[in-house]
Amino acid sequence: MVELARAGIVEAGARRGSLVDEAYAALKQAIRNTDFPPGYQGSEQEIAVRLGMSRTPVHEAIIRLQEDGLVRVLSKRGVLICPLAPHDIREIYEVVIAVESMAAELLAALPAASRVAAADELEAATAAMDEALGRDDLPGWAEADELFHRLLVERCGNGRLRRIAQTVTDQAHRARMLTLKLRATPTGSAQAHRAIIAALRSGDAGEAQRTARAHRVGARDEIVPLIEHIGLRQL
């Protein structure tokens, strides 16, 4: 009986954890897609109803998302979807530059089999970018581009860098999507990616770090002034 009770507790805990993970993923995606736009304020119950979920897992998901910097819990006033100002986007890109340049350096220093396998994945993502751009599919291009940058960090072997990168990427997503159609056609990104890939294949950690850094600095220096130029105070 004791063992059955323990098994029941474990199973219930697993179900609860799964529901929280589902609520976390659903709410984060809704924020990234601006289904809950920047500055939106509502109760946990309202958010749960809109997601079609029960309140308890949504409550726990909101706590996690507050740690990610995507929402803020307001005492007795519900939940606020955090807006970003241009200076926030600049700070986010500064973190991205540091994280991804270090990730590229670490990845290039891995054993040959590991870095070549990662380089193959990165090349596939870059090829998908080219294909999407050829179809004039900017959202598809952005998805493949995001995959490249996620893989770059995930394959470097440093879990803390991966968690930091995910947080700031989620925060910067709205800015990237908002400016996508306002920027020049991103024909140079694939070339920059392939320079990073070449450094990874050769195991040149210094060159991998330099090319990854230059690529993200270029993105920052294009996107942040564009946001400031069009006069967006928050996004």
Instruction: Give 17's pLDDT tier (boundaries 50, 70, 90).
Output: low
pLDDT of residue 4: 45
Residue 81: which H helix or E strand, with range? strand 78-81
Q: Which residue has the higher pLDDT, 199 or 173?
A: 199
The CA R_g of the chain, rounded to the nearest whole Å, is 20
Cα 120 to Cα 14, 100, 101, 131, 201, distances in angstroms: 36, 18, 19, 17, 9
Q: Please compute the mean of the pLDDT values over residues 38-61 and round it to a whole number.
A: 91
Q: Which helix (H) or strand (E) holds 74?
A: strand 71-74
The conformation of residue 37, written as its DSSP 8-state character, comes to -
Q: Over the stretch 155-189, which tens digit does the pLDDT of each residue have?
A: 999 999 999 998 888 877 777 777 777 788 888 99
Number of other residues whose CB lies within 10 A of the CB of residue 12: 10
Nearest alpha carbon to residue 119 among 24, 195, 229, 51: 195
Paired sense of beta strands 41-42 and 71-74, if any: unpaired
Structure tokens at 157: 């072997």
Given a cut of 60, is residue 14 above it in pLDDT? no
Question: Which residue's entry shows tokens 């006069």?
Answer: 231
Is 0.95 surpassed by the pTM of this model?
no
Contact of 80 with 71, CB cutoff 8 Å: yes
DSSP character at residue 203:
T
CB-based contacts of 196, cutoff 8 Å, min separation 6: 104, 122, 152, 208, 211, 212, 215
> What CA–CA distance (Å, rounded) separates 235 from 83?
5
More confident site: 31 or 11: 31
92 HSE (CA, 13 A, CB side): 24
Q: Tens digits of per-residue pLDDT, 106-130?
A: 999 999 999 999 999 999 999 999 9
Alpha-carbon gap, residue 205 to 192, rounded angstroms: 16
Give the domain ranges of the chain: 2-81, 86-229
Distance from C-alpha of 107 to C-alpha of 115, rounded to nearest angstrom: 6
Report how far apart, in Å, the C-alpha atoms of 45 and of each of 28, 53, 64, 159 are. Answer: 16, 9, 17, 34
Sheet holding 71-74, edge to edge: 41-42, 78-81, 71-74
Fold of 86-229: Four Helix Bundle (Hemerythrin (Met), subunit A) (1.20.120)
What CATH class has 2-81?
mainly alpha
Mean pLDDT of the residues in the chain: 88
CA 66 to each of CA 55, 82, 212: distance values in angstroms, whole numbers, following the listed order: 16, 9, 29
Residue 180 DSSP class: T
